[in-house]
Amino acid sequence: MLALFVLACEEESNFKEPDISLVPVYSITNIVGQNAPYKLNVYQETPLTIEYITEVNAKNYESMNYTDNSSAASIDVMWSVEKERTMPDLDGDGEDDIETYQVDYNLTGDRDFGEGTLMAISNYQDGNVVTIEYTGVKIDEIEVYN
């Protein structure tokens, strides 16, 4: 009976080992202004941006064209995401339409002070371009589990 117990303990588990690890993220807060999100988390090694509309409500977007030209003293990051907006009935079917558009972000700041500027440039399908500059944003480099 004892031998049986030892053998039973050596069997492989039916559970998979979790495939999680800490990954570096730029966490941007103190974003104040028109259509400002509560927080943005921009993953440095994964094409992912999480936009917190409120402290608990979030949307995730695939980061595109991510470029990090940061140095030891400064932060200089650019990336894009594709978003959607609801438009009044454009095709005459009596229902509102969903239109995709691209937002290009440019984050610049000082590493020592953890503060900077976030530019958000929205490029709409009708050719309209809207640029919003958020100054005094707080920039933290954190690690989160993927």
Q: Please report, for the chain, the start and end positions of each structural domain, with discontinuous segments joined by +.
A: 20-145
pLDDT tens digits, residue range 52-67? 999 999 999 999 999 9
Lowest mean pLDDT of 7-11, 29-33, 42-46, name the range. Answer: 7-11
CA–CA distance from 50 to each of 59, 86, 110 (Å)? 6, 20, 22
Indicate whether 1 pLDDT > 70.
Answer: no
The whole-model pTM stands at 0.83
Give yes or no for residue 13 having a pLDDT over 70: no
Instruction: Number of helices (H) and strands (E) in the chain: give both, helices first.
Output: 1, 9
Region 95-117 average pLDDT: 95
